[in-house]
């Protein structure tokens, strides 16, 4: 009887919610993905040769870094143990949570970053729109590849402090993709390493110049293969295999029904790829121009200039969501349970926010400045789009069970894993 009820619930949900076509992943070249794996974990791409992509997107922390707001340049350690280097501290705290990388290789993902400042746009000459300009998009295979240009050009993330190295100097002078600029300097480092030169020969052609876009295309191919997550218990059940356990099946029915989660978290990847304001508490320095003195993050409005987009942020996919704490565009919530409860009454949750939910390696007074600004908090509350929903504790537990059923354990384990060493000989974050 219990199995029959579970099958009926799944069938009802499938009938009520057309998830649309399955996610599409383009084929990847094995040699390119192997090259991308090494580059992803190699600190040689950072200005001071001390930070890799994996520093803030590590499989140990669900392809993020396990903290609310990352410490990039000027930090030591990994994940929640990472802290500011007292001899060379960060100039600024990174203002947003490091997003997870699950399924970003699916062709459905055409928008990157919490505010969507990089997005595919067929109307643009290069097929993408970015605040860095059209001259910066030529040569990238996808928006996933193009997003790699942002952290390496950020002094706070990977490039380094002003005058520390030739990459950070080029960035501060505005020499990015031009001849002799930051990209050329990074590419030259890679080309000087014999193993990389040999591997690129097999991918882009014997002796072909290694461009930064070749590096980022390889990294994107690796990310697509390594963190493709579409074989969860949810996928298996929806494709006619083993049904979900009863709690998860009840949670699925709530998710696509009375709880209203599907209003934003739609489709197979549980995202509408849109932007929504849900009154998340603002912690950290806020997203501002460099050295601008405010603690505000107006989200999508910084990209579009439209006041209607104030405090809207991209709907994240919920695949492997149980692995990616903390949650929100600035990691305001340490647990999935707390983040779910915020959705039930966002304005009340904003007003009652518990600061211990923030996961900071170390906090400063400025990290709470926006929370203590009653006018800013009121603006965030006024932008909220979600109406309150009343759920019993048992229903919340069922929803959490369903969210855990979106975990693809094979993806969490990794297909290629962390390399033992990288061609530069630099230390691999393990």
141-196 pLDDT, tens digit per residue, is: 999 999 999 999 999 999 999 889 999 999 999 999 999 999 999 999 999 999 99
267 and 196 in a single domain? The answer is no
| CATH code of residue 235 | 1.10.760.10
Domain edge (last residue) among 202, 228, 254: 228
83 part of a folded domain: no
247 and 259 in a single domain? The answer is yes
234 and 325 in a single domain? The answer is yes
Instruction: Check the CA dihedral 264-265-271-277 and report its sign.
Output: positive
Residues with pLDDT less than 50, the chain: 1-16
Number of domains in the chain: 2
258 part of a folded domain: yes
356 part of a folded domain: yes
CA distances from 173 to 91, 147, 230, 289, 367 (A): 17, 21, 43, 16, 29
Domain edge (last residue) among 228, 249, 274: 228
248 and 338 in a single domain? The answer is yes
Domain that holds residue 48: 30-64+99-228
79 part of a folded domain: no
State residue 27's pLDDT score. 94
Question: Tens of pLDDT along 309-325?
Answer: 999 999 999 999 999 99
84 part of a folded domain: no
Domain edge (last residue) among 197, 213, 228: 228
202 and 272 in a single domain? The answer is no
277 and 380 in a single domain? The answer is yes
162 and 152 in a single domain? The answer is yes
State residue 7's pLDDT score. 45
401 and 291 in a single domain? The answer is yes
6 part of a folded domain: yes
State residue 207's pLDDT score. 97
Inter-helix orientation angle 194-204/182-191, to 10°? 100
236 and 299 in a single domain? The answer is yes
166 and 315 in a single domain? The answer is no
58 and 104 in a single domain? The answer is yes
State residue 8's pLDDT score. 47
238 part of a folded domain: yes
153 and 59 in a single domain? The answer is yes
51 part of a folded domain: yes
* Cα–Cα distance for residue pair 337/322, rounded to 1 Å: 10
């Amino acid at each position: 009887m219990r199995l029959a009820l579970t099958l009926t619930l799944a069938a009802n949900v499938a009938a009520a919610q057309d998830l649309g076509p399955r996610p599409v992943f383009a084929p990847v070249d094995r040699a390119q993905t192997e090259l991308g794996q090494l580059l992803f974990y190699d600190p040689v791409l950072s200005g001071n040769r001390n930070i890799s992509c994996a520093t803030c997107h590590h499989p140990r922390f669900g392809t993020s870094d396990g903290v609310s707001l990352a410490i990039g340049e000027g930090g030591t350690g990994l994940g929640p143990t990472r802290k500011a280097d007292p001899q060379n501290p960060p100039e600024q705290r990174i203002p947003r949570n490091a997003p997870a990388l699950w399924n970003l290789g699916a062709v459905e993902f055409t928008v990157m970053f919490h505010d969507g400042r990089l997005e595919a746009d067929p109307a643009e000459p290069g097929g993408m729109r970015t605040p860095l300009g059209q001259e910066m998009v030529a040569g990238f295979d996808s928006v996933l590849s193009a997003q790699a240009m942002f952290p390496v050009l950020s002094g706070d993330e990977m490039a380094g402090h002003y005058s520390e190295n030739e990459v950070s100097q080029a960035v501060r002078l505005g020499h990015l993709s031009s001849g002799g600029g930051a990209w050329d300097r990074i590419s030259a480092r890679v080309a000087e390493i014999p193993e990389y030169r040999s591997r690129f020969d097999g991918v882009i052609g014997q002796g072909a110049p290694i461009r930064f876009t070749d590096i980022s295309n390889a990294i994107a191919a690796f990310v697509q293969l390594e963190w493709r997550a579409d074989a969860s218990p949810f996928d298996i059940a929806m494709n006619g295999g083993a049904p979900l356990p009863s709690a998860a099946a009840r949670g699925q029915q709530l998710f696509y029904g009375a709880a209203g989660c599907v209003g934003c978290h739609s489709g197979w990847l549980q995202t509408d790829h849109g932007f929504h304001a849900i009154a998340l508490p603002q912690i950290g320095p806020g997203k501002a121009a460099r050295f601008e003195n405010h603690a505000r993050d107006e989200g999508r409005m910084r990209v579009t200039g439209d006041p209607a987009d104030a405090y809207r942020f991209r709907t994240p996919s919920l695949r492997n969501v149980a692995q990616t704490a903390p949650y929100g565009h600035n990691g305001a919530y340490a647990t999935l349970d707390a983040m779910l409860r915020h959705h039930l009454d966002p304005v009340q949750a904003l007003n009652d926010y518990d600061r211990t939910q923030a996961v900071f390696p170390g906090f400063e007074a400025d990290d709470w400045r926006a929370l203590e600004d009653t006018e800013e908090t009121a603006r965030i509350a006024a932008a909220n789009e979600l109406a309150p929903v009343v759920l019993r504790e048992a229903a919340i537990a069922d929803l959490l069970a369903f969210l855990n059923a979106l975990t693809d354990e094979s993806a969490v384990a990794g297909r290629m894993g962390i390399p033992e060493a990288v061609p530069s000989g630099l230390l691999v974050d393990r």
